[in-house]
Amino acid sequence: MRATHCVGVVQDVRFTAVEAASSPALYVLAGEEAHAPRFNAVWFVRTTLPPEAALQAITHVVRDDNTPLSIAKTERLVDIVRAATSSTRFVATLLLGFATSAVLLAGLGIYGVVAYIVSQRSREFGLRLALGAQAGELVLATVRRSVWLVGGGVAAGLFAAIVGARLLGAFLYGIGTFDLATDVGVVGVVATLGLLATVIPARRITKIDPAAILKS
């Protein structure tokens, strides 16, 4: 009986799906009689040629070799991976759409609240301006108050994301449930959008005419 020698250790491989756990596997030489492929085999070829040229060259070599082999199908590895991850990518795209809609709705909500506050307090702001207050100071005070609200919402959302990360772990591949770069990026996007949604309506204070307010 011929002995099979172990020649090395490779990284874990997911054979069924990218999100499935890896299982133990043993690689043997194709020439081993006890393990030689009897009906079919899958070959992976690494090349620097363009995909179409590589497939033609491989097919030509196999057909010119004096062995009873035939190629049933040729595929690029990127296409195989894309097909294997289609359902995962669909779920990720769907979640991304929901997240984008939530961020936009949050921005519109902040804009509406600040615009409503400015319109309701326009008489107060006009009186302050007439008494010598600076428009920039009033804008800054309004923005500062709104920033605290935005910061509280961002903190609550970040806490909920960390707590609920385990529920989304099955849909993640290549990153952990806590990814610092992703969290920082999301916080930056939400904070920037919230700041813009606050500053734009708050700038209306600079357009208030104190004289018109006093006449009314």
First to last CA, the chain: 105
**Contact partners, residue 86, CB within 8 Å, separation at least 6:** none
Q: What is the pLDDT of residue 2?
A: 52
The reply to whether 3 and 47 lie within a common domain is yes
**How large is the greatest C-alpha to C-alpha distance in the chain, in angstroms?**
107
Determine the structural domain holding residue 9 and report its residue range: 1-84
The reply to whether 161 and 56 lie within a common domain is no
Residue that is last in its domain, among 84, 112, 132:
84
The reply to whether 79 and 144 lie within a common domain is no
The reply to whether 79 and 97 lie within a common domain is no
Q: What is the pLDDT of residue 65?
A: 63
Q: Is the pLDDT of residue 175 over 70?
A: no
Average pLDDT, the chain: 76
Listed range (11-20, 54-63, 108-117, 189-198) with the worst mean pLDDT: 11-20
Domains: count for the chain: 2
Listed range (50-59, 111-120, 171-180) with the worst mean pLDDT: 171-180
Categorize the per-residue pLDDT at 1 as very low, low, confident or very high, splitting at 50, 70 and 90.
very low
Q: What is the pLDDT of residue 5?
A: 62
Contact in structure between 111 and 200 (CB atoms under 8 Å): yes
Q: How far is Cα 109 from Cα 197, in angstroms, rounded to an integer?
A: 9
The reply to whether 97 and 199 lie within a common domain is yes
Q: Is the pLDDT of residue 35 over 60?
A: no
Residue that is last in its domain, among 84, 104, 139:
84
pLDDT in tens, 57-74: 877 777 776 666 667 777
Q: How far is Cα 194 from Cα 200, in angstroms, rounded to an integer?
A: 10
pLDDT in tens, 134-167: 888 888 888 888 888 888 888 888 888 777 777 7
Query: Residue with structure tokens 């009186």?
Result: 127
Pick 214 or 183 by higher pLDDT.
183
The reply to whether 163 and 102 lie within a common domain is yes
The reply to whether 113 and 173 lie within a common domain is yes
Q: Is the pLDDT of residue 190 over 80?
A: yes
The reply to whether 52 and 5 lie within a common domain is yes
Q: How far is Cα 64 from Cα 15, in angstroms, rounded to an integer?
A: 31
The reply to whether 135 and 188 lie within a common domain is yes
Helices 135-163/122-130 angle, 10° precision: 140
Q: How far is Cα 73 from Cα 154, in angstroms, rounded to an integer?
A: 51
Q: What is the pLDDT of residue 173?
A: 62
As a whole number, mean pLDDT of residues 173-189 equals 74
Given CA atoms 181, 187, 188, 190 in this order, what sign does their dihedral have?
A: positive
Which alpha helices (H) appear in the chain, and where do they start and end?
51-64, 77-84, 86-120, 122-130, 135-163, 180-202, 210-215
